[in-house]
Structure 1
């Protein structure tokens, strides 16, 4: 990562993370180690610093399609139980060290079966890694809960199967479902049977929508598929008229705001894929000011060279966010998490609010 200073206050702030891809957050050294163990010879670099730089530069292209191509290497080293376990454990440890007290990490089981694993074995290896990572983090004084979202790839045809896997493991650390991948040409309604199944089973799900594609993607995700949250949702601003003194919301944006539909926004990632032009101009601040249910997220920590602390610091430095704004967004994230209400409330009251109170922030006045 490039030199960047996260202030002591932001570093100490308790954080909640809803949109973080497991295969987008590997440590460069881990990729090199596992590649050597399994005989994977296609890495573009074998020095950790060089490999780290390659991922960031390749992802910093302004193209979502090019951004997604970097995942070929991370997915390649996540094809064994040992590799998946290590990646999941280190994910929990890295997030905890960043001050994250609750995280939902998403991954696509269908992408980790090339080595002969079943999707059940994939889920169990990742779950084991998260649990051991949580325990090791707690022993080091960093309390964190990491839950999984199972993702189906929108260009494939296994969404119903993965939805069933989500329900099967919902009492073992899997809290929801997602679809991901290139939006253009692959609308969420292609997987309508999976979403209808999840609704019948009282299971929660989010949908990547409104990142590289516009309002139709968001509309379908909500009105046809019934998404509980929107992954990114950046393009909702296309339905907000800012030409007057007071912004005017269209029917869809008003529906999202009034329904308190959470937006899983990822500033650095959006800059890389061209969904936003700068931190200062990122729609997240306008949406915050308009009281949408905004959350701050990392998306892919490796490709974006980021952490949750860095995402928050960028907003403080370049978009004039305050610690009170960060507290508000963190509580938004916990309100929107896919764990039971009582568990969400406990994290808010026992960790988030006391953590910010120690920094002198006890409330938020819009």
Structure 2
């Protein structure tokens, strides 16, 4: 593969067989996945001062800040990515490179999650921002196709849960549903900003038969997940790692609370992001991360990078960590990938075709 177009993901051995497995990425923030060199170039154009001007030094700063345990420092990392994503050309470039990085990671379906309301500091409105991102996604897919690689992408538009724009973002998503937008989300500070505060947006989207995922169960606990699923009607849960607080299970034996049993019985997908959860304190180590116990109990777990830049990760790296530190095998990785594709925000016929033509054959060709 052309390393100039499709660079091997950070922290991944180019010969790792996991890299060649077909993958799905559902929880993957656009503003958390920029290339450091791109940030440096865009910051120069925008007149934005960075904490470091060398790409390698900047990558190290992002990693150190995200792993500091200091929430203020962690949030500062996003200020430096969002600051350089305020023009149409910048958004298009970032989205294009985001697609190429997915291809390099072995991903054949990916959803780009981002908040249009955070990209209006220059002369863009939210519609123009969505169009610019879609142009980049389309360009990335076309470049991949020319290289003989298959990838399909979609946008998930995110409302900020501490703001009052969620209905406007929901209406924006509906305006662009036939030109690349596939879902809606709310994100931001979870504690003190419950999903039900955005019920007007969710009710509107449900009437429009439009897919919804909600960040819940990361910084806040079971009540946040309950509201997301039972009050706001989310089809998927972003993170959801703290569902374990509603169960008493040791070595596969024990009891599930009402909500945990509902999530399991109805196979509500959990968009789990192991490395990111360690950074935010939602888990202590990969070996002890709840994703493995949830998998063993039959929950619909999926494996995601969350923020590729801040966590210096990729789907391949997350899978490698689970294999090396949590005892996962190839069948576990396939199970999680089937779960992810099964709940992707694309039509059923596309999901079935991907399973038959890409996912199953791809796993059959590789032996870990």
Q: What's the TM-score bracket when you normalise by the shorter of the two chains? A: over 0.9
> C-alpha distance in 2, partners of 1:244/1:126?
45
Whether contact under 8 Å (1:97, 1:142) holds in the other structure is no
Which residue of structure 1 aligns with residue 4 of structure 2? none
Q: 1:228 to 1:45 in 2, by over 3 A?
A: same
Of the three residues 18, 21, 28, the one matched with 2:29 is: 21
> C-alpha distance in 1, partners of 2:348/2:146?
27
Aligned length: 360
1:172 equivalent in alignment to 2:179: yes
> C-alpha distance in 2, partners of 1:3/1:162?
35
SS across alignment from 1:303:
coil
1:214 equivalent in alignment to 2:221: yes
Which residue of structure 2 aligns with residue 74 of structure 1? 81
> C-alpha distance in 2, partners of 1:315/1:59?
20
SS across alignment from 1:178:
strand
Which residue of structure 1 aligns with residue 53 of structure 2? 46
Whether contact under 8 Å (1:150, 1:166) holds in the other structure is yes
> C-alpha distance in 1, partners of 2:301/2:309?
23
Residue segments in structure 2 that go unaligned for 5+ positions in a row: 1-8
Of the three residues 352, 363, 366, the one matched with 1:359 is: 366
Which residue of structure 2 aligns with residue 364 of structure 1? none
Query: 1:134-171: per-residue Cα shift (whole Å, max 9, x none)?
Result: 11012122211111100000011000000011111111
Measure how far apart 1:276 and its partner are.
0.4
Whether contact under 8 Å (1:229, 1:264) holds in the other structure is yes
Matches within 5 A, 1:1-366: 3-5=11-13, 8-41=16-49, 43-64=50-71, 66-243=73-250, 246-360=253-367
Whether contact under 8 Å (2:10, 2:313) holds in the other structure is no
Query: 1:37-96: per-residue Cα shift (whole Å, max 9, x none)?
Result: 12112x100000000010011011335554233100000000000000000000000101
Measure how far apart 1:279 and its partner are.
0.3
> C-alpha distance in 1, partners of 2:91/2:204?
28
Q: 1:241 to 1:130 in 2, by over 3 A?
A: same
Measure how far apart 1:5 and its partner are.
3.4
> C-alpha distance in 1, partners of 2:366/2:288?
27
Residue segments in structure 1 that go unaligned for 5+ positions in a row: 362-366
Measure how far apart 1:97 and its partner are.
1.1
> C-alpha distance in 2, partners of 1:35/1:278?
34
> C-alpha distance in 1, partners of 2:254/2:72?
32
After TM superposition, the score normalised by the length of structure 1 is: 0.96
> C-alpha distance in 2, partners of 1:360/1:45?
41
Q: 1:38 to 1:65 in 2, by over 3 A?
A: closer
Whether contact under 8 Å (1:6, 1:310) holds in the other structure is no
Q: 1:276 to 1:263 in 2, by over 3 A?
A: same
> C-alpha distance in 1, partners of 2:66/2:252?
37
After TM superposition, the score normalised by the length of structure 2 is: 0.95
Q: 1:145 to 1:3 in 2, by over 3 A?
A: closer
> C-alpha distance in 1, partners of 2:19/2:308?
16
Whether contact under 8 Å (2:11, 2:313) holds in the other structure is no
